[in-house]
Structure 1
Amino acid sequence: MKDSHGTTSSTSSEKPTEDPHCTVTSIYQAKIGDVCRNVTVVWGKNLMNHTLILTVHSPHSDQHSTCKIDLKPWHFWNKKGFKSFDVDGKRINVFWDLRVAKFSGRSEPSSDYYVAMVCDEEVVLLLGDYKKEAYKRSKSRPSLINATLVSKKENVFGKRSFSARAKFDEKKDHEILIENSISMATESDMWISIDGIVMIHVNNLQWKFRGNQTVTVNEIPVQVFWDVHDWLFSGPGMVHALFIFKPGQPAQLPGQDGEDDGSDHGSRVSDGDGGYDGCLARNHGVQPGFSLFLYAWKVD
C-alpha cells in the first residue's frame, strides 16, 4: 500500500532486521481493534541512514505487521510523512514529524517530535512531546486506553562512561550514568548515578562483576542488576556489559519475611496476555513489570 509520498508500507511474516549495535528497541502494549497487542518500536541509525520500524504483533500467533520509515538525512521532506498498513483487516495510519527533533547523539529522539499510530480514528500509540500537533494533524482523538511501555533495550558506547535515559513512572525521564575506572583486573571501581546522584558504588569490581542492588528514585524502588564480566576478562575488541533497571521491589518467595536481600527471585518482564482487560490493568503509562536492558559496549 502506498502513502502520500509514493512509498510502500509492508506487511510481513518476517521479523525486521536489527543491528544490535545501533538500535533502541521499545515494546509497548496498545489497544488496537479492541485487542491488547504488543507493538515493537525500533529506532536504528548508521552512517548512511536513519530508520524507524513499527511492528504490531498478533496476540495469539506469531504473525505480525510491519511499517518501516526511512529518515534519510539529506531528504528534509521525508522527516514528516504518513503511511498506512493493515493489521488483521484493520487499517493503521502512522503520522510523524521529526523535522526539528533533537536526538542528542542517539538513534531515538529526546524531544521536539511526534509519531502517532491511529486506528479507528483513535491515537492508539503516541511517541514524542508534540502531542497537540499529532492530534491536530491526524484528526483523531486520544485512545481511552493509554499505551503502556513494557520494556526497552538500548545500546550505548564509550570507554569510561555510558549514559542513557529511562522512565520509571509516567512522570519523567531519568538520566542514567555508568562510570568505571577499569585499568587492570586488580584495581577497578564502578559508579551508577541516576539524575546526578551516585546510587551504587562497586569497588573491587573484579570480585563483584555480577550483582544487584535496590535503590530509591523519587520514592520509587528500582532494582539494578549488572554483569560486567566481559569488560574485565574478555580479550581485545569491543565487548559489552549488561545492566538491567527494573522498578519495583524484588519478588519474594513464599514464606519469606519481607526483607529485601538484594536478589531477584524469578522476576521477569511480562509480555501480557493479549486481552482487552490486560490493557485496562496496565493503563498507567509505564507497566509495573517494565525493565530497561542497557548494553554498554566498551570501545578501547
Structure 2
Amino acid sequence: MLETCFSEHAVQVADVSVSSSTTQNLVTCVYRIKLGDVSRFLTITWCKNKMDQGFIVEMDHALPQHACVVAMNRWLVRDRKMQGCKAFDHEGHRIQVFWDLCSAKYVCGPEPQEHFYILVVCKAKVLLFLGDMVKEACMRIKAKCLEMEAKLLSRQEHIFGRKQFATKAQLSLTGTTHSIMIECHTQVREGEHPHLSIRVDRKTLLRVDQLDWKFRGNQTIWVDGVPLEVFWDVHNWLFNPSVGYAIFMFQTNPFMEKPWLKDVSSCNRISEWADNSAFKEMEEPLSTGGFSLFLYAWKSE
C-alpha cells in the first residue's frame, strides 16, 4: 500500500492493492530517449496528495536514489522547490533536471497544462523538454534551441466519475489532442443489460451491449485515420466493486504482433494488461512502434 505518492513505490500504479485515495492523483508518462548512442526509457510521474504535489524523473526504472524527486507544499505559495535544478547519476551519466512551476496552471489533476517547463539534460544535450516556456528553458541552460528525439510510448492516468469518465489525450502522431468520454451504465432496470460506450470528440466510436457477458474485450476504432485497438475490463465494477476501478487501454499500431497480450478472455486480474504492456514493451525491439494510453476509471459515489 502506498503511504504517499512520493514514496519509492509511487510509480507502481498498476498494483490492485493500491486504494483510490493514494492513486487518484497520479499521471505516469514513459518516453524513449537517446542517452549517448543507446535508447533508454525515461519516466515522468506527476503526483498530488492533500499536502504535496510534484513530480518524479527516473531512467530505466532505476532505484529511488538514482531518480529526481521534487515534492512541493501545495499551500505554500512561494515554495522554493517550485523552481530549481537537481542531478542524479545513471550508469556513468550525469542527468540534470531543471524545472520552473512558479506560474504553472493546472486544469485538473497533478499535471500542469501551461506556463511551466521541465528540462532533462545530459552533457548539454536535451533528453526531454515538457511545457510551453521554451525561451525561459533555453536561457536556463544557455542554449539557442531545444532539439531532442524523445518519443512518448505510454501514459497512465486515473479518472473519476459516476457514469461518465472524461480525459484528453493525443492518440496518434498528428499531435491533435482529443476529448475521450467513457460512459458506463452498470445499474440498470430489470430485464435490461449493462452497457458501455466510448466517444472521441463527442462521436461514439464504440458501444458494448450486454456488458455483464462482455465485461472484458477489445475492438478496433479509427481516429485521425489511424487504427486504435481499445481494450476494456469492467469486471470489478460489475462483480467486485470493493476494488473500485475498471481499466481501459488505447493501443496504436494494433496490427503489430503482440504475443504478450494473448486473448483478453484469459486475463485473470484487472492489472494484467497494464503489467504486461508496461514491461514487455520495454523488452521488445526498440524499433517497435506504437503508443499505449491506460485509463484507470474509478467510480466515485
Q: SS at the partner of 1:78?
A: helix
Is the 1:121–1:139 Cα contact (8 Å) retained in structure 2?
no
Match of 2:119 among 116, 119, 131: 116
Distance 1:124 1:93 in 2: 10
Aligned-partner residue type, residue 217 of structure 1: V
| 1:270 is the counterpart of 2:281 | yes
Distance 1:252 1:85 in 2: 37
Distance 1:272 1:132 in 2: 37
CA apart distance, 1:63: 9.3
Which position in structure 2 is the counterpart of 1:239?
Answer: 244
Q: SS at the partner of 2:171?
A: coil
Is the 1:57–1:63 Cα contact (8 Å) retained in structure 2?
no
Aligned-partner residue type, residue 119 of structure 2: A
Which position in structure 1 is the counterpart of 2:184?
Answer: 180
Which runs of no fewer than 5 residues in structure 2 stay unpaired? 1-6, 12-21, 266-272
C-alpha distance 187-212 of structure 1, shift in aligned 2 (>3 A) = same
CA apart distance, 1:196: 2.1
1:32-69 Cα deviation digits (max 9, x unpaired): 233221111111111111020001128xx989821101
Match of 1:220 among 217, 226, 233: 226
Task: Choose 188-197 or 39-48, whichever is displaced more.
Answer: 188-197
CA apart distance, 1:252: 5.9
CA RMSD of aligned residues (A): 3.1
Match of 1:90 among 88, 93, 96: 93
TM-score (norm 1): 0.78
CA apart distance, 1:25: 1.1
Is the 1:191–1:202 Cα contact (8 Å) retained in structure 2?
yes
C-alpha distance 219-64 of structure 1, shift in aligned 2 (>3 A) = farther
**More helix, by proportion:** 2
| 1:140 is the counterpart of 2:143 | yes
Which runs of no fewer than 5 residues in structure 1 stay unpaired? 1-13, 254-261, 282-286
Q: How many residues align?
A: 267
Is the 1:150–1:271 Cα contact (8 Å) retained in structure 2?
no
Which position in structure 2 is the counterpart of 1:169?
Answer: 172
| 1:290 is the counterpart of 2:291 | yes
Distance 1:272 1:172 in 2: 29
Q: SS at the partner of 1:288?
A: coil
C-alpha distance 127-44 of structure 1, shift in aligned 2 (>3 A) = same
CA apart distance, 1:96: 1.0
Which position in structure 2 is the counterpart of 1:67?
Answer: 68
Q: SS at the partner of 1:146?
A: coil
Is the 1:151–1:291 Cα contact (8 Å) retained in structure 2?
yes
Which structure has more relative contact order (CA 8 Å, sep 6+)? It is 1
C-alpha distance 35-152 of structure 1, shift in aligned 2 (>3 A) = same
TM-score (norm 2): 0.77
Q: SS at the partner of 2:73?
A: coil
C-alpha distance 31-140 of structure 1, shift in aligned 2 (>3 A) = farther
Distance 2:146 2:140 in 1: 16
CA apart distance, 1:165: 2.6
